[in-house]
């Protein structure tokens, strides 16, 4: 068992080191590799060195290796084929699989030798509840992110969610006090799955990054409970790291969205006021041509680029980096203003721009970018919508009221790149499009940026 403990220690340390390295784009790839190697060592150590209380080694190794091979092939193919726009769906899918595993472990262990121990049965129930919620919620999040499931916005869902949570707590208490009655376990499983669905169903649009982060923390906690069950340091360390990191990120996301954590748990997203968003009426927008936009940027002192989901859809991150590079060759200072929930998951824009080798110091967080906006000559919005909508600050009836935004209206000029006048993920009009400083550059973002690059090279 000594060498098995050493393998687990190496795996745990690799997780901690890998997570630390993930905080910097320059070391993130190596950090991910180190964590993966540590996990591999822990798995091999378990297969080769683990023995039960009777001294027997693990059996069914051929089946275990076959399952690992199948999972590896499927995971590799999915990860290699996924587009950047579908990365949030992939994260939700993989996260849901982790929750399902934790729930299955709880079911198996319930029927094992732990079922009569008070503390272990409590851990089993907690793993079952959290894993089931994570699985069901992640599957619904996947469907919504992939536009296969629509929102259900109803006030009765908040009350229903609270009632279901209360019943789940009661069932857990009854199940722990009467561990021999499996009816409580199966009822808890069913209700936890139902709650996972109802928890995510009313959540829409701009709030989805918070949900992904929260469900990720759920899966981490469920994995940590599995570590308690098996006295497995690697599962415990990995689960705690994922759970704590996900929780911290959830709190940061809630702050960025101006939502309370309680409102997340009961699915009470959106709707800062009761009067409903005000109608913008028949207003006209001002368009700008590529040539004029290029001239405006070329003779600016400072340009801000605000990326959004539209940049990912157009796969325009590489041409955007070239646009930034050409401007800097002309003496223009360029920075990227990154909203915490731009895109469809936390860090979506950071990953997208890192893929195009955009230097990390150029990616400014919202607060820092807002401080620079009054000294910015041109703010270029590429595919972002809700995160720059002034209604978040001016309209108490707007669903996004109170959400901190990137304050592009403080810049001298605003250029919005969009395919059309379509609404954002929150489903509301953006009054920024009609502002006096704003000019609309319609078209595919990648094509528009390509035209700007061509124009800039001739100036």
User: CB of 239 within 8 A of CB of 226?
Assistant: yes
User: CB of 391 within 8 A of CB of 400?
Assistant: yes
Q: State the pairing for strand pair 302-307/378-382.
A: parallel
User: CB of 405 within 8 A of CB of 379?
Assistant: no
- 117 included as an active-site residue: no
Strand order in the sheet with 413-418: 363-365, 333-338, 302-307, 378-382, 413-418, 438-442
Q: What is each CA distance from 85 to 89, 317, 345, in whole angstroms? A: 9, 12, 10
d(CA 372, CA 454): 28
**Among 357, 386, 395, 412, the one annotated catalytic:** 386
Between the CA atoms of 125, 129, 134 and 137, what dihedral angle is there, to the nearest 10 degrees? Answer: 160
Q: How far is CA 49 from the centre of its chain?
A: 37
Determine whether 111 is exposed, middle or buried from the number of CB atoms within 10 Å of its CB (0-12, 13-18, 19+). Answer: exposed
d(CA 193, CA 191): 5
d(CA 65, CA 166): 41
Q: Under 8 Å CB-to-CB from 383, ≥6 apart: which residues?
A: 307, 308, 309, 310, 311, 312, 313, 314, 417, 418, 445
Helices (H), 146-181: 155-177
Instruction: Write the DSSP symbol of residue 24.
Output: S
Please give the positions annotated as active site: 386
């Amino acid at each position: 068992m000594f060498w098995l403990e050493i393998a687990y220690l190496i795996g745990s340390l690799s997780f901690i080191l890998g997570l630390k390295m993930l905080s910097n784009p320059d070391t993130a790839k190596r950090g991910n590799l180190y964590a993966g190697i540590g996990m591999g060592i822990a798995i091999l150590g378990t297969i080769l060195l683990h023995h039960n209380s009777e001294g027997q080694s693990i059996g069914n190794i051929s089946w275990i290796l076959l399952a690992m091979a199948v999972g590896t092939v499927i995971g590799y193919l999915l990860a290699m084929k996924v587009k950047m726009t579908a990365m949030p769906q992939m994260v939700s899918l993989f996260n849901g699989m982790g929750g399902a595993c934790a729930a299955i472990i709880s079911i198996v262990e319930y029927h094992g030798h732990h079922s009569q121990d008070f503390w272990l049965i409590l851990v089993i129930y907690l793993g079952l509840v959290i894993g089931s919620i994570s699985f069901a919620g992640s599957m619904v999040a996947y469907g919504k992110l992939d536009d296969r499931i629509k929102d259900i916005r109803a006030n009765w869902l908040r009350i229903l969610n609270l009632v279901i949570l209360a019943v789940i707590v009661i069932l857990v208490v009854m199940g722990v006090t009467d561990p021999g009655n499996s009816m409580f376990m199966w009822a808890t499983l069913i209700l936890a799955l139902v709650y996972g669905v109802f928890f995510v169903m009313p959540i829409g649009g701009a709030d989805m990054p918070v949900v992904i982060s929260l469900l990720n923390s759920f899966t981490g906690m469920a994995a940590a409970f599995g570590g308690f069950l098996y006295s497995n340091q690697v599962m415990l360390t990995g689960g705690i790291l994922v759970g704590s990191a996900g929780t911290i990120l959830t709190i940061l996301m809630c702050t960025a969205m101006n939502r309370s954590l309680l409102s997340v748990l009961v699915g009470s997203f959106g709707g800062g006021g009761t009067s409903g968003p005000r109608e913008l009426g028949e207003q006209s927008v001002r368009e700008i041509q590529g040539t004029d936009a290029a001239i405006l940027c070329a003779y600016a002192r400072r340009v801000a680029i605000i990326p959004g989901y539209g940049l990912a859809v157009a796969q325009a991150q590489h041409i955007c980096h070239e646009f930034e590079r050409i401007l800097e060759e002309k003496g223009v200072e360029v920075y990227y203003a990154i909203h915490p929930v731009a895109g469809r998951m936390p860090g979506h824009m950071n990953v997208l721009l890192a893929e195009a080798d955009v230097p990390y110091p150029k990616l400014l967080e919202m607060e820092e970018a807002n401080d620079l906006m009054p000294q910015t000559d041109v703010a270029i919005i590429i595919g972002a919508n809700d995160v720059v909508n002034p209604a978040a600050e001016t309209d108490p009836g707007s669903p996004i009221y109170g959400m901190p935004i990137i304050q592009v209206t403080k810049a001298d000029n605003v250029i919005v790149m969009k395919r059309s006048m379509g609404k954002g993920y929150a489903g509301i009009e953006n009054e920024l499009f009609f502002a006096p400083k704003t000019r609309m550059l319609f078209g595919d973002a990648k094509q528009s940026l390509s035209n700007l690059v061509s124009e800039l090279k001739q100036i």
